[in-house]
Amino acid sequence: MPAARKLDPNASRTAAFGAELRRMREEARLTQAELGRRAGYSSSQIGAVEVGKRSPTEQFLSECEKALGSGLREVWASLSHHRDTAPTWFAPWLQEEEQAQSLRTWEPLVVPGLLQTADYARALLESESGYDSERIDALVATRLARQKILTRTHPPRYLVVLDEGVLSRPIGGPGVMREQLERLLEAARVPHITVQICPLGANPGLSGGIVIAQAPNGVRHTVYLETAAEPVVTSYAEVVELVTMKLDAIRADALPQRASVEFIRKMVEKWT
């Protein structure tokens, strides 16, 4: 029998669940085939979930709990809590973001959610109408949970291009801004993260934020476009091509990373 494939629970949400499923299966002294027969699945389906290639469905959780005992639902719910808290329209993007091999983003107004501090995120959400303090707490927690993709074992390459105005827009006050800009400097030191600043002036991206997610196979690209209402998430080829050209044009005007980092340092002093 070949050795079991080594699992890395820190690789992704599905990998963390798969590691727990394998632990419970082995504790019950069952092979993948035996668990599959009891739960109504093939051994390859069980294996795909264990190595994080497939997410468990509600039926899968139910049948595996019958065979292994309770606990799997709680594990999956805990790992997926930030998805349940996020707005419904955001769900399609969360999946693309979580699975992405690379993420490229342009933000003309605010620091992107994957790099926001808790206080910065809170200040932004408090400016929105219709959120009570409990809902804001939940949304802040959701935003911070999303950031775990940047510290997992195989994180996506992350390119961030910010308009210069983002650094001077007072969100939450001087203390909040100083901490947020220090967070950008910290992120810029990470090998797989690039932060660039686009100087003030006209550019093709002033109409709204852009994110382009590239899937692991390198074939599919999905874009996220901010609007005044609900954002647009699409993999339509013509839209992806247009948005990619726009982001490339914006980046061509941006400062190199080293100059961008120095610019952010100077802005930290402004908020001190």
Q: Which of 45, 84, 90 is nearest to 64 (CA)?
A: 45
Domains observed in the chain: 13-79 (1.10.260.40), 89-270 (3.30.870)
Rounded to 5 degrees, φ, ψ at 29 are 60, 45
Burial class (CB in 10 A: 0-12, 13-18, 19+), 160: buried
Burial class (CB in 10 A: 0-12, 13-18, 19+), 44: exposed
Going residue by residue through the chain (272 aa), what tens digit of pLDDT does each one get? 455 666 677 666 788 788 888 989 999 999 999 999 999 999 999 999 988 888 888 899 999 999 999 888 888 877 766 565 666 667 778 888 988 999 999 999 999 999 999 999 999 999 887 778 888 888 898 889 899 899 988 899 999 999 999 999 999 999 999 999 999 999 999 999 999 999 999 999 998 999 999 988 777 899 999 887 778 889 999 999 999 999 999 999 999 999 999 999 999 999 98
Beta bridge partners, 234, equal 223
Dihedral angle of Cα 225, 113, 179, 199, to the nearest 10 degrees: -20
